[in-house]
């Protein structure tokens, strides 16, 4: 028999026949978790159960083109708007009794910001982890790549798992951690990250192309917001995170010195307590 804190898996079929794969656990105030590009709901494996144990209802989804959710065959089906609409359909299906707290990483942070701007009455608070909210956060070479729509993704499709894994292992190597740990990311996270890269649709790499800057509308996001980021992020400009703290009317931030783009997976034992302290302050 399922207990209230057991993990529930669900596949929602939307009106356009797309499927949203998701998990939920716990009962209480709702917390919605949204992963970043080329990731999956497994990004939140170290947070979902602790949320349930702390008396919250945690929900996490696979975004369009990711994990076990629908993967459209046409590259033209991938845009920031299509991913947002896919997420919105999932949120609507939950029939939540009140506003939810959204936790978003990278692309998921941008999606959470848009949700709060469009539906302020439905967003109680935000936790943004290395959020992607402006194309200017990207390095110049990546901005050049994303300037045009990708038309041929054969190379991405044919990339084997072992090569994804090799690149992740190299990028997570940390000679400063000490002799007992040579990687910033634990083994199970590196395995899952490479798997998520491999099973994601190559069309998802068109999504950042349509991600415009929203800095002119951020003053409308008045919900309590916690911004967390890794000081060694090589994907997004780390100065942009403290800038976002200043742009949002009701935000505070914290930087993790030894983490990169994924502090929620790098050091959950340090990040999770800050999340719970923030959630408790809402009560």
Model pLDDT, residue 140: 85
pLDDT category at 1 given cuts 50, 70, 90 is very low
Highest mean pLDDT: which range of 21-25, 139-143, 169-173: 21-25
If you average pLDDT over residues 251-261, what whole number do you get?
93
Overall fold of domain 8-150+204-282: Rossmann fold (3.40.50)
Model pLDDT, residue 187: 73
Q: Which residue has the tokens 């703290």?
A: 245
Confidence check: pLDDT of 229 > 60: yes
Least confident stretch, 52-66, 92-106, 162-176, 254-268: 162-176
Q: Give pLDDT tens digits for 51-65.
A: 999 999 999 999 999
- Beta bridge partners of residue 180, listed in sequence order: none
Model pLDDT, residue 155: 59
Task: Calculate what percentage of the chain has a pLDDT beyond 90.
Answer: 57
Confidence check: pLDDT of 126 > 90: yes
Summary mean pLDDT of the chain: 86
Confidence check: pLDDT of 12 > 80: no
Confidence check: pLDDT of 163 > 80: no
Task: Determine contact, residues 35/76, Cβ cutoff 8 Å.
Answer: no
pLDDT category at 6 given cuts 50, 70, 90 is confident
Model pLDDT, residue 13: 72
Q: What burial letters (b/e) apply to 233-271, b meaning 16+ CB within 10 Å?
A: bebbebebbebbbebbeebebebbeebbbbbbbbbbeeb
If you average pLDDT over residues 170-180, what whole number do you get?
55
Confidence check: pLDDT of 238 > 90: yes
Model pLDDT, residue 189: 80
If you average pLDDT over residues 205-229, what whole number do you get?
83
Confidence check: pLDDT of 181 > 60: no
Model pLDDT, residue 2: 41
- Residue 59's contacts (CB-CB under 8 Å, 6 or more residues apart) are 22, 23, 24, 30, 31, 32, 33, 94
More confident: 252 or 78: 252
Number of Cβ within 10 Å of residue 163's Cβ equals: 13
More confident: 5 or 65: 65
**Domain layout of the chain by residue ranges:** 8-150+204-282
How far, in Å, CA of 225 to CA of 248, rounded? Answer: 8
Strands (E), 184-236: 225-230
Confidence check: pLDDT of 179 > 70: no
Closest to 124 measured CA to CA, from 32, 190, 212: 32
pLDDT category at 198 given cuts 50, 70, 90 is confident
Q: Give pLDDT tens digits for 84-117.
A: 999 999 999 999 999 999 999 999 999 999 999 9
């Amino acid at each position: 028999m399922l207990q209230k804190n057991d993990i529930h898996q669900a596949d929602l079929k939307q009106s356009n026949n797309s499927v949203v794969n998701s998990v939920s656990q716990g009962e209480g105030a709702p917390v919605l978790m949204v992963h970043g590009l080329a990731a999956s709901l497994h990004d939140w494996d170290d947070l979902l159960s602790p949320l349930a144990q702390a008396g919250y209802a945690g929900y996490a989804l696979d975004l369009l083109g990711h994990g076990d959710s629908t993967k459209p065959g046409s590259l033209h089906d991938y845009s920031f708007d299509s991913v947002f609409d896919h997420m919105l359909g999932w949120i609507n299906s939950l029939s939540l009794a009140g506003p939810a707290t959204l936790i978003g990483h990278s692309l998921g942070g941008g999606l959470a910001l848009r949700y709060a701007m469009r539906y302020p009455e439905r967003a109680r608070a935000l936790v943004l982890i290395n959020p992607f909210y402006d194309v200017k956060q990207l390095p110049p070479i990546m901005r050049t790549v994303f300037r045009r729509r990708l038309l041929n993704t054969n190379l991405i499709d044919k990339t084997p798992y072992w090569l994804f894994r090799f690149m992740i292992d190299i990028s997570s190597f940390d000679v400063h951690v000490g002799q007992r740990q040579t990687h910033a990311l634990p083994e199970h996270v590196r395995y899952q990250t490479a798997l998520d890269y491999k099973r994601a649709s190559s069309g998802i790499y068109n999504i950042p192309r349509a991600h415009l800057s929203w800095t002119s509308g951020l003053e409308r996001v008045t919900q309590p917001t916690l911004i967390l980021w890794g000081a060694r992020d090589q994907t997004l400009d780390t100065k942009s995170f403290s800038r976002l703290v200043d742009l949002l009317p009701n935000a505070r931030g914290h930087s993790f010195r030894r983490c990169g783009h994924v502090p929620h997976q790098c050091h959950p034992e340090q990040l999770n307590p800050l999340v719970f302290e923030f959630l408790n302050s809402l009560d």
